[in-house]
Amino acid sequence: MRTVSPALIILTLLSPWAGTIQAQDKPSGPDKKVNAQAGRKIDLSVEAKLTASHTTTEWKIQNAIDGDPKTQWVGEGHPLTWQPTNIIIEFDEPKTVERVVLVSTRQRDMLAIKDFEIYAWGKKSWAGEAPVAVVKDTREEINTVAFEPVKTKALRIRIRDTYYYHSFPRLLEIEVYESLPEVKGEKPEDSPLGDENKTERLILDLAFGKVPAFPRTKFQSSKGSLYYAKSFADTMIASGTDRYGKVNSPMFTSLIDMETHRNPIETPQNSPGQRYGDRSIHGGNLFHDVMLLLAMDNLSKITGSVKYEKAVTDYLTFFLKNCPQSNTGLFPWGEHAYWNFYEEKAVYDIHEFLGGIPNSFWERMWRISPAAMEAEADGLINHIKNLDDFFFDRHADINTPMPVPRPEKYGGLNFARHAGFYIGLWSFAYAKTKDEKYLDWSQKMIDHHWTLRSPESGLPPDRKGARNASAVSTLSLALNLLEAAELLPEGIVRKKYEEVAKTYLDAILRLPHKAAEGKFLIDLPLDAAPEKATGTYGEPYTYGYGGGFSADYAGLLLGVYQITKDARALKLAEGFADYYSKNNPPPITEPVYARVYATIIGLFNDLYEVSRKPEYLEQSKRYATIAIEALYHDGLFRGASNVGHYEASMMVGNLVYNLVWLHALEKQEAIKIEPNYFAR
């Protein structure tokens, strides 16, 4: 193993008139001088290829080699303390290099680089035991790292930490300098990186476009969909519960390795459309498990085995007793917060609803702890930023109640879909307690969007001050209103719920959706007449952050039809079903979420229940076969077709629920399975 001299960090300044890096001469070790002007700056944009293992959509690694310090590369928000971010610099031919310059920046007064290492490539692998530089606790935005000359075809910058919440590393510029021609660089020797795990290697492979090969399953029609759903439930009960930290619990783990059936400490890479802050990496998230728990209740009814129902009761009992936050009553669940199994506490202090909780699930939790349910309903007032007009933020502080009176200045995002979620729970709480405050809050929430709606489109703005309307967010609100109305007695309030919902739905059903192309119009100008609206359309097989998956909305139309019997909703849903009957999802080499398969199966299940047309049942079975072969392995479903782990946030629970539902339809079980409209 060769000995590496300690790296020198030369502090530098950006020249304000030229935008280039001016280096200084400083010693790099005992009795040694480094000529910072020696050698040549390599034109990385021409003579090298850069690849980053983590990058945000708009801030590519190429921004860090364009010579413009106003542009930058930004890594993702994954916790660097768990796993590093890597930048690979591949030269067009081997070069003798002696210096690397990294120019970072500050975000919110916090430096976006702290600890990093630099490695050189040997003959067949990295010289992992002999990094050319190890830098810790840098306090400078601009660092020049000088080291003994080394001849290599590639460098690897391994960023271990930032001061910015241990995430989102940022580099304005990267420069690499080669030695003078007469300098003979040392050749690195292959050796492993001591703490590199399989996930880091997989993420690097993915960054380079390598497609991993995961084990698959051939669907056995003799077993039917129930076998795979039941096998998954058995696996979750046996090895998918909380076995971590000091307190083991019956909650389900949200992320599980398909091979070890354990929660990995290292973090698998985001799939397209994911953000690290939305993933329940080291614990469990009840919101992600809602439909799985209801599926397990149905499994007990179908199989006669009480173990599935008991697992649900045990899970919910533990959660409702231990997890709600004492000061607000809010649950650590949803898009951000979850229960950390290693630390036995809530992670993230942001409460946000994620989907449409069925009234049957509220009922399931109410039977276990009415007090916890009332506390969650009461805690939702923390989302309200203005108690007069009920302007709200989809995010609320889990730990600290909002002051009364509210602050004069406030921000927030008042999306219509979230209003529907609050109204749904408040209406359920009213039905149980007859406490008029819940009806009062619900009506104020209805009025908030109703007063903002455009007379031209009939829809409210997507958010305060926006000039666009979200058809899909308003569709979600309308369905929540219809479902909540069924909990109320006949009268003025119930009629208000129904009339507001139907007004919004009339506008949505008049929009020029493109069902034959699998495209649902999701966003339009606020003041456009519905029939003439243009805008953004959803995609037939793609789900990403914020939605955009057409089948989700086609499914919600059936929820609308089930209550209103509006023939337009059924016809439009049938149009999307016709598209899915004629097409197939992308191959397993492309990322297809479990949610995508689940929703399409649910769409056909629901249409079969409505029409009893056998072709819908056959299509549901076809997609179930595709989903099982793409996702199932060794008792688990992977979260997406191209990943090697189960992940609840990808809505595997929806898939399991809809497979059980499919079995009940196919076998004509006496058990009535409730339609699934959670994904909204």
Nearest to 631 by CA among 652, 603, 648, 662: 652
Q: Give the number of other CB atoms < 10 A from CB of residue 646.
A: 28
More confident: 507 or 9: 507
pLDDT digits (tens, 9 = 90+) for 597-626: 999 999 999 999 999 999 999 999 999 999
pLDDT digits (tens, 9 = 90+) for 70-99: 999 999 888 898 889 999 999 999 999 999
pLDDT digits (tens, 9 = 90+) for 535-584: 999 999 999 888 999 999 999 999 999 999 999 999 999 999 999 999 99
pLDDT of res. 38: 63
Structure tokens at 486: 């069924």
Q: How far apart are CA 274 and CA 284, in angstroms?
A: 17
pLDDT of res. 589: 84
Q: Would you give the DSSP letter of residue 452?
A: T
CA–chain centroid gap for 661, Å, is 26
| Model confidence at 409: pLDDT above 80 | yes
Place of tokens 């339009």: 524
pTM for the whole thing?
0.87
Helices 359-368 & 307-322, crossing angle to 10 degrees?
Answer: 70
Nearest to 127 by CA among 204, 188, 196: 188
**Cis status of the peptide bond prior to 405, with omega within 30 of 0:** yes
φ, ψ of residue 449 in degrees (nearest 5): -80, -35
Q: How far apart are CA 582 and CA 619, in angstroms?
A: 10
Q: How far apart are CA 42 and CA 586, in angstroms?
A: 41
pLDDT of res. 35: 42
Alpha helix (H) residue ranges in 246-323: 286-303, 307-322
3-state secondary structure of 170: strand
| Model confidence at 9: pLDDT above 90 | no
| Model confidence at 15: pLDDT above 60 | no
| Model confidence at 28: pLDDT above 70 | no
Which amino acid makes up residue 423? I
| Model confidence at 13: pLDDT above 80 | no
Q: Judging by DSSP bridges, how do beta strands 249-252 and 110-111 pair with one another?
A: unpaired
pLDDT digits (tens, 9 = 90+) for 637-658: 999 999 999 999 999 999 999 9
Structure tokens at 346: 């809530």
| Model confidence at 17: pLDDT above 80 | no
More confident: 528 or 27: 528
Give Cα separations from 344 to 29, 165, 336, 404 (angstroms): 47, 21, 16, 31
Q: How far apart are CA 357 and CA 349, in angstroms?
A: 21
Specify the long-range contacts of residues 615-618, CB closer than 8 Å, at least 24 apart.
615/581, 616/577, 617/662, 617/665, 617/666
Nearest to 664 by CA among 680, 647, 676: 676
Judge contact between 640 and 596, C-beta under 8 A. Answer: no
Judge contact between 102 and 21, C-beta under 8 A. Answer: no
Structure tokens at 218: 């051939």
Give Cα separations from 519 to 477, 572, 580 (angstroms): 20, 11, 11
Secondary structure element (H or E) that encloses residue 158, with its range: strand 142-161
Mean of per-residue pLDDT scores for the chain: 93
- The distance in angstroms from the start CA to the end CA of the chain is 57
